Structure 1
Amino acid sequence: MKSLAAFKAAVDGDGAKVVKVDGLISLSGQVDIGSNTTVLGVGSASGFTGGGLRIKEATNVVVQNLNISKPLAPADGITVQESTKVWIDHNSFSADREHDKDHYDGLLDITHASDDVTVSWNTFKDHFKGSLVGHSDNNGDEDTRHLKVTYHHNHFSNVYSRIPSLRFGTGHFYDNYVQGADTAAHSRMGARMLVENNVFRDTKVAVTTSRSSDVDGFAVARGNDLGGAATEISQVGDFTKPPYAYTAEPASSVVGTVTEGAGAGKL
């Protein structure tokens, strides 16, 4: 698909489909993606700028190999709401730090009781608010026991915070490379986070459970290369074994693996 109109028509509905994006499409706001849809960028320079994609009340959605840049508020680069079985893989998200922190919205936000969302092999660059999981401190009735998310082998560069910020849910954050953050992994409102085998560089606080909300979260941190970053873990959690098989590579090899393999054009 080379035009916005063609893309909107192609991703509509819940029938099984693979929709290829060929080139960079400008948009304002967001385009809704139906269930059972794979959105795949062609080459290394295809995607969207100025807005983003919304996955709402959907299941079995893959977003892969896209460049998603400068999502003007109130549109996120990708929003996942009330959705399950979503895979966000090998995309390049970016904005800039030259505007007010609210000029752009989130690069990737996961909200409203979404579950089984995997964020892998993406780059997130030059942004204030990276990835928010759980939109509000007041949404516990909906979000508690949901918001099960996994982030692995992502590269966050010059992203100020929310790497990710998780409310109420359960998050596994492993084998990621974080550079230039103020606060990175943030567990709040009773969220449970396992942070393992990540590398942090030029980062003030690698893991925190005690900022911005009235209720702290929980975190288990193991095997990380903090690179001098602080940790603020007020409550050590009990989430130590995710309910799936995985192998976390040691932190010593993460920088090379992630810089070589993460982002659009590296499938």
Structure 2
Amino acid sequence: MRTRPHTLAIGAAASLVAALAVALPQSAQAADTSPVGFGAGTTGGGNATPVTVTTLAAFKTAVTGSSAKVVKVNGLLSLSGQVDIGSNTTVLGVGSASGFTGGGLRIKEATNVVVRNLNISKPLAPADGITVQESTKVWIDHNSFSADRSHDKDYYDGLLDVTHASDNVTVSWNTFKDHFKGSLVGHSDNNAGEDTGHLKVTYHHNHFSNVYSRIPSLRFGTGHFYDNYVQGADTAVHSRMGAQMLVENNVFASTKVAVTTSRSSDVDGYANLRGNELGGAAIEISRQGSFTTPPYAYTAEPASSVVASVTSGAGAGKL
């Protein structure tokens, strides 16, 4: 969470500076040192001695296993498909231009994983930019996801998908740009037996720009979507198959439908809205939800300051 600059009159007292810092929303004060939301408590590799890699082969070796590890990626690495990330791992991009293109990362049957400060671009189907499957305690923070919309919608896969009963995930301060299918939570209408009671995900302070839909699309689970900035979407937040969504203090611009609970599935979802700036976008709420109080501490800054916070603080290179 990043501080926005303030101009104070010459000679202003130190006490006034302190008062302003206290008055700022929690989300605007500093870059997060730990996740807020359902992913709270995720530490990744913690204080393990970092290992820096510059090749894909070295990266694949470095992220295997469940021992505590911090792996720094230096450079933009091309790959096909996905690389599996072991438990108790932090993957951290070096600078503002490191990461992966052509494929992505898979967190499968793992726990306690942090992914930060990466550029992840053009994940060719069937590879997502990041896939989280059968995993718990995951923090996806300050990454830049992108593709293009000059190809068919199925040419690339999802930028960030959370599936197969994964739980306790926080997605914060990322940018998602130029894509059709943004972030899918719950892969199928037919997976209730595995997913019901799971798929708890928090999205906050993310910037979705020219992403057509799935911002996010959530089945069966519980989602908290707050302080995000959505530009140029056809359908943004989509709650379906009985999912519960709290949509709070977001800004929607040039968006057709900000929130829907009644599309594309036989069973509608649920949603509660508060404090959003819809910018003329429609809402399609067929069922109001019961999820109004998240089970964790957080402070949602008002929608009036979200655009400034997110455009200055989200994405790789902003830590």
TM-score norm. by structure 2 comes to 0.84
Residue matched to 2:293 = 241
Determine which structure has the larger strand proportion and give its number: 1
Number of the residue aligned with 1:183: 235
Does residue 69 of the first structure (1) align with residue 121 of the second (2)?
A: yes
Name the structure 2 match of 1:80.
132
Q: Which amino acid aligns with 2:285?
A: I
SS across alignment from 1:190: coil
Tell me, in whole angstroms, the C-alpha distance in 2 between the residues paired with 1:116 and 1:261: 23
Partner of 2:269: 217
Written as runs of structure 1 = structure 2, the 5 A alignment for 1:84-123 is 84-123=136-175
Other structure's SS at 1:255 match = helix
CA distance in 2, matches of 1:4, 1:46: 12
1:208 matched to 2:264? The reply is no
Residue 193 of structure 2: SS of its match in structure 1? helix
Q: 2: distance between equivalents of 1:206 and 1:40?
A: 32
Which residue matches 2:188?
136
Quick one: which amino acid aligns to residue 101 of structure 1? K
Q: Which amino acid is the alignment partner of residue 279 of structure 2? A: G
Partner of 2:103: 51
**Quick one: which amino acid aligns to residue 100 of structure 1?**
D
Secondary structure at 1:256 match in 2: helix
Q: Give distance in 1, aligned partners of 2:54 and 2:179.
A: 27
**Which runs of 5 or more structure 1 residues have no equivalent in the other structure?**
none
Larger radius of gyration: 2
Tell me how far 1:225 sits from its aligned partner.
0.1
User: 57, 68, 79: which one pairs with 1:5?
Assistant: 57
For 1:241 and 1:258, the matched residues in 2 are separated by 23
- Alignment length (residue pairs): 267
Verify: 1:231 aligned to 2:279, yes or no. no
Instruction: Name the amino acid aligned to 1:173.
Output: F
Q: For 1:254 and 1:120, how far apart are their aligned partners in 2?
A: 13
Q: Distance in 2 between matches of 1:36 and 1:241?
A: 29
The DSSP-based 3-state class of the residue aligned with 2:80 is coil
TM-score normalized with structure 1 length: 1.00
Q: Distance in 1 between matches of 2:150 and 2:247?
A: 30
Cα shift readout 1:132-190 (whole Å, capped 9, x = no counterpart): 00000000000000000000000000000000000000000000000000000000000
Instruction: State the Cα distance separating 1:224 from its structure 2 match.
Output: 0.2
What does residue 302 of structure 2 align with? 250
Question: For residues 34-45 of structure 1, what are the structure 2 equivalents within 5 Å?
Answer: 34-45=86-97
Aligned AA for 1:175?
A: D
